[in-house]
Amino acid sequence: MSMDDLKRQAAARAVEQVRDGMKLGLGTGSTAKHFVELLGERVKAGLKVVGVPTSEATRADAERCGVLLTTLDEVDRLDLTVDGADEIDPNLELIKGGGGALLREKIVAAASDRMIVIADESKWVPALGRFPLPIEVIPFGLGATRRAIEAVFAENGVSGQMDVRKAKDGHAFVTDGGHWIIDAHLGRIPDSPRLAAALNSIPGVVEHGLFIGLARTAVLAGPQGIRVVERR
Ligand SMILES: O=C(CO)[C@H](O)[C@H](O)COP(=O)(O)O
């Protein structure tokens, strides 16, 4: 079974949680794309839902699949967000942002009563940090922001190379919000909630990919089947 089959299986399990009338957060990435496609099939069969997309790519996918869209200005809370992740630890803390949509993803997840993270088993890790941590920054004053990030890393016992993410054309990758992303290669993050809070305090950092206390359920698809992990 391919990795993509596993992603689709995890997405299919999450689609079972969707009920008529729900307001949904729609994640970004290849796993979330499966969810949007499967949701679209249920919509065509008569399910009534509205979704808030977490990226322009997901907006296009949802429109193509016939999923009605709304915004967080038009609705108050969302019932459920379903999104992928780059890493998931046993406390259901996440690294997200490999696809560059972390800012909208976090806004949408925080506005949701429940977040289900869907992934293949390879995303399950004992501790976060092997996947480079995406940090979304304002291009202005980048040198100062980098130095402040380095200082926060040192205070939190981590260090590693920091790369400005590049697009395929070799220029800086620009997020849907018009910002840049620094990918920080930290190896292992001993205390992710503490690091997340410290990064939030840096001027010039718009958001980072540590999702702390947001995911309630993880649906992990592996060759042996599906494992569902609930937040303790
Ligand atoms: O955070 C994300 C996008 O910003 C994605 O959810 C994450 O990168 C996982 O992607 P995929 O499902 O393609 O493995």
Q: Is 83 annotated as a binding residue?
A: yes
CATH of 133-208, one of 3.30.70.260, 3.30.2130.10, 3.40.1010.20, 3.40.920.10: 3.30.70.260
Cα dist from 198 to 47, 149, 184, whole Å: 42, 9, 15
Instruction: For the chain, state the CA radius of gyration.
Output: 17
Q: What's the pLDDT at 220?
A: 98
Q: What's the pLDDT at 68?
A: 98
Cα dist from 44 to 67, 138, 227, whole Å: 9, 41, 28
Provide CB contacts within 8 A for 127, sequence distance 6+.
89, 188, 189, 190
Boundaries of every domain in the chain: 3-124+213-223, 133-208
How far does residue 70's CA lie from ligand 1's centre (Å)?
22
Q: Which of 225, 189, 198, 205 is nearest to 91 (CA)?
A: 189
Q: Are strands 50-53 and 23-26 parallel, antiparallel or unpaired?
A: parallel
Q: Is 23 annotated as a binding residue?
A: no
Quick check: is 93 catalytic? no
How far is residue 94's CA from residue 119's CA, in Å, rounded to a whole number? 11
Q: Amino acid identity, residue 160?
A: G
Q: What's the pLDDT at 148?
A: 98
CATH of 3-124+213-223, one of 3.60.20.10, 3.40.50.1360, 3.55.10.10, 3.40.190.10: 3.40.50.1360
CA-closest residue to ligand 1 atom 3? 99
Structure pTM? 0.97
* Residues 202 and 188 sit within 8 Å (Cβ to Cβ): no
- Estimate to the nearest angstrom the gap between the alpha carbon of 67 and the chain centroid: 20
pLDDT means per 10 residues, the chain with 232 residues, are 96 98 98 98 98 98 98 97 98 98 98 98 98 98 98 98 98 98 98 98 98 98 98 92
How far does residue 46's CA lie from ligand 1's centre (Å)?
28
Q: Is the ipTM of this complex over 0.90?
A: yes
Q: What's the pLDDT at 72?
A: 98
Q: What's the pLDDT at 200?
A: 97
Atom of ligand 1 nearest to the CA of 100: 4
Q: Are strands 180-184 and 50-53 parallel, antiparallel or unpaired?
A: unpaired
Q: Which of 195, 176, 215 is nearest to 133 (CA)?
A: 195
CA-closest residue to ligand 1 atom 10? 29
